[in-house]
Structure 1
Amino acid sequence: MNTSTVAPMSAVARRVARRGIVQHLIAADESSLAELQALLATLPICATGRVFIEVPDASWIGPIDVPGRMTVTWLDRSRHTGRVGTGQCCGRGDALSRAVIAWADEMLCAETDRTRIHLMGGYLGTAEIVDHLVEHHGRAPQTIHTPERFGLGTR
């Protein structure tokens, strides 16, 4: 019986690990769009990775400049439900943490993974993502970039 909680490595994760490519995982919400744009402007044009942006509703969704090899996923809170089994509406950070954790579980499988992680959403969602990355993926908290005011990189 296999009791491992680590998912098998996806084909994309294997290719990234084999090539030694440094990818980026970036998460933001409506309160951090300016910081998101500033970060994206500093990335090299050949950067690869994923950007997740949680917003209250579709009126917030618009064009955003990212390097050509990066994928942007807009998460419209008004179209998502809250935590499973609660029957509640999607709270701030819920859709973002679910999406980022699911992506991490599929893509952060290699021991040599060097993904650069930037989390700019609200405190609760960011803390949940950091906890998952530390506990399930063995990431050192200081390697996960979060707003300094949250104090999440100093555990």
Structure 2
Amino acid sequence: MSVVLTSPEAAMRASGVTETGGQIATLRGRVLLAAEVSSLDAVRDVIAHIQSVQTRTNRTRGQVFIEVASAEQLEQITLLEPLETPELITVTWLARDVRSGAPGTGESCRAGVALGRAVRAWVSEMTTGDPEIDGDELSAVVFGDSPEIVDLRLDLISTLGLLAA
């Protein structure tokens, strides 16, 4: 397994991406990108770099989860500047206004909750949780600062044996 990054700035520093270019050496094989909408530009930068280093025989594959406040916000984003990814990377948008908070509470979905649920479900389905079996071809980048996102990063570090940067 590779690295769980903590913020757009940390991701760019750790990956070597700068304003003048760079290389994301740790993002290969399978990639999991998860972000709150406030980090959408950082996600775009990471995806652009992944696209720039792919070859026919070395293709990154994976999943992008992006949490937005509402379906209306999602519509505005996708109309203005759609998020384009390589063919083997899927994007899932998570609108909080159409999701509930903790089961049985009737609460609204707080920032980071939908993202945390989606990432944990993906990890449970797509990995064994054993770094020896899964190998080191999975990299995860998690952007956001809400308490739920901090907990998510800690879970990924613990579950997947990832390193924090």
Q: Is it true that 1:40 corresponds to 2:59 in the alignment?
A: no
| 94-103 or 54-63, which deviates more | 54-63
Say which of 140, 149, 153 aligns to 2:162: 140
Q: Is it true that 1:92 corresponds to 2:115 in the alignment?
A: no
AA aligned opposite 2:146: Y
| 95-104 or 30-39, which deviates more | 30-39
Q: For the Cα contact (< 8 Å) 1:28–1:54, is it kept in 2?
A: yes
Shift of 1:127: 1.4
Q: For the Cα contact (< 8 Å) 1:25–1:49, is it kept in 2?
A: yes
Q: For the Cα contact (< 8 Å) 1:130–1:141, is it kept in 2?
A: no
Q: For the Cα contact (< 8 Å) 1:55–1:75, is it kept in 2?
A: yes
Percent of aligned positions with the same letter in both sequences? 33
Shift of 1:60: 2.5
Question: What is the total number of aligned residue pairs between the two structures?
Answer: 122
Say which of 7, 26, 30 aligns to 2:37: 30
The residue aligned with 2:101 is: 82
Q: Is it true that 1:105 corresponds to 2:105 in the alignment?
A: no
Q: Is it true that 1:52 corresponds to 2:65 in the alignment?
A: yes
Counterparts of 1:128 and 1:22, CA distance in 2 = 25
Shift of 1:113: 4.3
Counterparts of 1:28 and 1:50, CA distance in 2 = 11
SS in 2 for 1:53: strand
Counterparts of 1:47 and 1:111, CA distance in 2 = 16
SS in 2 for 1:91: coil
Q: Is it true that 1:114 corresponds to 2:137 in the alignment?
A: yes
Relative contact order, higher structure (CA 8 A, sep 6+):
2
TM-score by length of 2: 0.67
Say which of 69, 72, 80 aligns to 2:91: 72
Deviations 1:79-109 (A, max 9, x none): 0000223220000000000000110111121
